Amino acid sequence: MQQDNKRSQLSWAFYDWANSAFATTVMAGFFPLFFKQYWSSGTDPTTSTFWLGLGNSGASFLILILAPVLGAVADSGGTHKRWLLMFALLGTVTTAGLFLVAQGAWPWAISLYVVAIIGFSGANVFYDAMLPALTSPAHFHRLSAQGYSLGYLGGGLLFLINVTMTLKPAWFGLADAAAAVRFSFLSVALWWAVFTLPLLINIREQPPTAGDDVQIGKEVRKLLNTLSSIRQQRNLWWFLVAYWLYIDGVATIIRMAVDYGMAIGLDPNSLIIALLLVQFIGFPATLVFGRIGERYGAKRGLWIGLWAYVIATVCASFMSSDIEFYILAVALGLVQGGVQSLSRSLFGQLIPPGKNGEYFGFLNMLGKAAAVLGPFLVGVVAATTGNPRIGLLSILILFLLGMWYLRKVDDTPPQPATRF
């Protein structure tokens, strides 16, 4: 892949536009809403929260196992696009399959959802691994932020259309809001598939050579060596520990926010509008965080975002009105994309050359490992105590511990060697 090729960079960033439709409409928006009101109608709200949390955790656990192996495969040479396409197809097909799930058939719904998350997350291993090859280290923060910002804009635009479909189904020739939500799943699959094409067409990789064939045993040994190598790089190790902890809280809030709002009695339409606010505020705010990372360092930008999450989590545990939920949505929209994009670009800055896929596989592994704990923790605590507010507060420890480890990370950019 050619560094600093603007067309390739834009095509790479547009994949965020493509797959963020799944993250927004399905993961954050309609799936938790539809799962509670339609597929598991008649069950206790805390029970459906438990199963939603378990489904998210199960999918994340499978990616936890797969991610480092997939990362090693990515480094085998010229296979990023091929594997990304395979996992993206898995995600789009299973997302479209949600259209066919009948009311009350929640086991089918959660099963398809789990497989769709595997497709989404698996493709992201190969997508993230492309970043260091597309630009110089000095521009990692900006390109990473460009991808996330396009994701917020693209995901937000389709989500706006989907929300309009549910509020005014007759405008689209649909019988009711339930039919609109089911058709929304089809629209996500189509959007994801179509906007993946620029990456597949415009980014060219060197074809793999005979010596690049993947042998599972060899790759496993390579992963063990990589893990040993990471542990010897203290700076990189501290970052991965910090990331594993704080991204747990971020992922949990993204996936469980709508379910939490419904559990405390907020209006479902207001929850959807709040998610739209996050998307459209996140678009420009993420670009700003990319500039903050370039000018002041990624760690400083992450501190801003993570403190915002701590404050918002505490406030959310006491909120009781739709207006309060809107205010928190605005606050998180300002920092959510910044935390995600600066984490990715800071990691790309810290890893050694030639290890992009393998190391980003570990990054994705830790991110998904965090999502194993977070939704499960919220679901179990809410079901045990009967109080979703206590369940939400349980993730505070993850933000605070993550920040404690992040302070150990040196994000000073490497200096070029001096010539004599």
Q: Which of 45-54, 117-126, 290-299, 302-311 shows the lowest per-residue confidence on average (mean pLDDT)?
A: 45-54
Q: Looking at mean pLDDT, say which of 170-174, 250-254, 392-396 comes out highest.
A: 170-174
Give me the pLDDT at residue 63, please: 79
Report residue 311's pLDDT band, with 50, 70 and 90 as the boundaries: very high
Q: Whole-number mean pLDDT of the chain?
A: 82
Sequence length of the chain is 420
Angstrom distance (rounded) from CA 44 to CA 376: 17
Q: Quick check: 72 pLDDT over 60?
A: yes
Handedness of CA 90, 95, 96, 98 (dihedral sign): positive
- Are the C-beta atoms of 364 and 242 separated by less than 8 Å? no
- 195 or 61, greater pLDDT: 195
Q: Quick check: 4 pLDDT over 80?
A: no
Can you tell me the mean pLDDT for 378-404?
84
Q: Quick check: 274 pLDDT over 60?
A: yes
Q: Quick check: 356 pLDDT over 70?
A: no
Give me the pLDDT at residue 368, please: 60
Pick the CATH number of 6-202+231-406 from 1.20.1340.10, 1.20.1250.20, 3.90.550.10, 3.30.70.270: 1.20.1250.20
- Are the C-beta atoms of 328 and 336 separated by less than 8 Å? no
- 182 or 259, greater pLDDT: 182
Q: In percent, how much of the chain has pLDDT > 70?
A: 85
Report residue 190's pLDDT band, with 50, 70 and 90 as the boundaries: very high
Q: Quick check: 213 pLDDT over 60?
A: no
Q: Quick check: 417 pLDDT over 50?
A: no
Comparing CA positions, the residue from 366, 362, 375, 393 lying closest to residue 58 is 375
- 225 or 177, greater pLDDT: 177
Where do the H-state alpha helices sit in 168-233? 177-194, 197-202, 216-232
- Are the C-beta atoms of 70 and 121 separated by less than 8 Å? no
Report residue 120's pLDDT band, with 50, 70 and 90 as the boundaries: very high
Angstrom distance (rounded) from CA 110 to CA 50: 12
Comparing CA positions, the residue from 28, 15, 11 lying closest to residue 193 is 15
- Are the C-beta atoms of 270 and 325 separated by less than 8 Å? yes
Kindly report, residue by residue over 79-98, the tens digit of the pLDDT: 788 889 999 999 999 999 99
Q: Quick check: 222 pLDDT over 70?
A: no
- 217 or 105, greater pLDDT: 105
Residue 44: both structure tokens together: 């206790």
Contacts for 298-304 with beta carbons within 8 Å, 24 or more apart? 298/141, 298/342, 298/343, 298/345, 298/346, 298/349, 298/411, 299/346, 299/406, 299/409, 299/411, 301/338, 301/342, 302/338, 302/339, 302/342, 302/343, 302/346, 302/406, 303/403, 303/406, 304/335, 304/338
Can you tell me the mean pLDDT for 310-316?
91
Report residue 184's pLDDT band, with 50, 70 and 90 as the boundaries: very high
Residue 79 parent element (H or E): none
Give me the pLDDT at residue 364, please: 65
Residue 151 sits at the vertex; the CA angle it makes with 121 and 178, to the nearest 5 degrees, is 80
Can you tell me the mean pLDDT for 217-234?
72
Give me the pLDDT at residue 88, please: 95
Comparing CA positions, the residue from 330, 362, 333, 72 lying closest to residue 240 is 362
Phi, psi (5° rounding) for residue 163? -65, -40
C-alpha torsion 267→270→272→275, nearest 10? -130
Kindly report, residue by residue over 146-160, the tens digit of the pLDDT: 888 888 889 889 999
Q: Which pTM value belongs to this model?
A: 0.73
Give me the pLDDT at residue 369, please: 60
- Are the C-beta atoms of 3 and 356 separated by less than 8 Å? no
Residue 347 sits at the vertex; the CA angle it makes with 143 and 89, to the nearest 5 degrees, is 65
Q: Which of 136-140, 182-186, 243-247 shows the lowest per-residue confidence on average (mean pLDDT)?
A: 136-140
Q: Quick check: 367 pLDDT over 60?
A: yes
Kindly report, residue by residue over 276-310, the tens digit of the pLDDT: 888 788 878 888 888 888 888 888 899 999 999 99
Instruction: Give me the residue label for tokens 């404050």.
Output: 311
Classify residue 105 by its DSSP letter: -
- 112 or 294, greater pLDDT: 112
Angstrom distance (rounded) from CA 412 to CA 259: 40
